[in-house]
Amino acid sequence: MSEGPPTGPAAGAAEQLLRDELAQGDRAIAAARPVLRLLLTAHAPVQIDDEVVAHIRGAAFDVARQLLGAQSEVAARADPAPGRADAIAATLLDDPGFVAHAQALALEGRAAERLRRLGDIDPVLPPLVQDLAASPDARQAALAMAVLAAQARFQQYRRRLELPLRDLPGDLFHRALLALRAHAGEDGRAAEAAERRLRGGYDESAGRLALLARLVGGLGDSGGEALAADRAGLSIFATALAMAAGQDRDMALLALGGGQPARLALSLRAAGLTVEAAAAQFAQLDPDGTLPEGLDRIAPAEAAALLTTGELAGGRP
């Protein structure tokens, strides 16, 4: 029988060390957010991450274009007010929740590319999806094919700096429609009609994130495979990690984005991975990082508790 994590002073010291490292990483993220918002709304000389900034800004303007496109369709004419796309995008970029989500998607794409480059793991068709697509279970095979298609679209949209309205989480979809309403001006009726049409066609359960969650939730006894990045691919792995560790998916992606060793290590442990399995996944996901000391003295429940007491415990704003 394997022994559990040690208890007593050694365990307490390890917990405090990890708590301090987590707090340091969380403070870095929290401190970067105001600078990130400055970069998104102005041509500031500060440099954080041009790639991530470009993806967030591109997502906001793409959502604005989709909203105005829907309004133009119901009004049967082009948008007459110049600058409305800029105004709607600015509102979205001033929404911490939208920015956090767009940032997480940018990190997801980058981490998936890193996994492809270092481990030859296809972000669209990883081994787990290949196996599930060939499953004799017709429902499981169909879901795997739906995930494959959603992942292929995600890669295309990411390269084009786009973010489809249909893939937004429900709360952010609602806030995007509020942004359209806020900038309706004299076209209030057309904006209301567009909002009704968009709400009528929106199905959160059919979006990419819901498909990923459904696939992970339906694995049953094979669920452990989703917590192996080389088997599941980055996107499925991120979903499984968030579900198993009791985290918001966007927060899990912050851990996978690099430079957050304590958050990543604690997330892996909170998801129930053994210390050995967590170390193996850490090495694969953050090859330039150093596994924090003391992880072997932290039980999964303690790791989860540490994550819930961090400065970013609330998840997406």
The answer to whether the CB of 194 falls within 8 A of the CB of 73 is yes
User: Is residue 77's pLDDT more than 70?
Assistant: yes
Domain ranges of the chain: 9-308
Greater pLDDT, 46 or 31 = 31
Q: Which of 57, 61, 62, 63 is nearest to 198 (CA)?
A: 63
209 pLDDT band (50/70/90 cuts)?
Answer: very high
User: Is residue 47's pLDDT more than 50?
Assistant: no
Q: Across residues 33-39, what is the average pLDDT?
A: 56
How far does CA 247 lie from the centroid of its chain? 11
User: Is residue 19's pLDDT more than 80?
Assistant: no
Q: Across residues 194-223, what is the average pLDDT?
A: 95
Greater pLDDT, 266 or 315 = 266
Alpha-carbon distance of 176 to 192, in angstroms, equals: 13
pLDDT recorded at residue 42: 46
89: its two tokens: 């995008």
Alpha-carbon distance of 150 to 173, in angstroms, equals: 18
Alpha-carbon distance of 243 to 247, in angstroms, equals: 6
Could you report the per-residue pLDDT of 125-155, keeping only the tens digit for each?
999 999 999 999 999 999 999 999 999 999 9
The DSSP secondary structure of 67-79, one letter per residue, reads HHHHHHHHHTS--
Which positions ≥6 away from 21 have C-beta within 8 Å? Answer: 261, 262, 292
Q: Across residues 296-308, what is the average pLDDT?
A: 89
**Which residue type is seen at 85?**
A
Percent helix, strand, coil in the chain, to 5, is 75, 0, 25
Alpha-carbon distance of 189 to 285, in angstroms, equals: 49
Task: Name the least confident of 65-69, 74-78, 172-176.
Answer: 74-78
pLDDT recorded at residue 2: 42
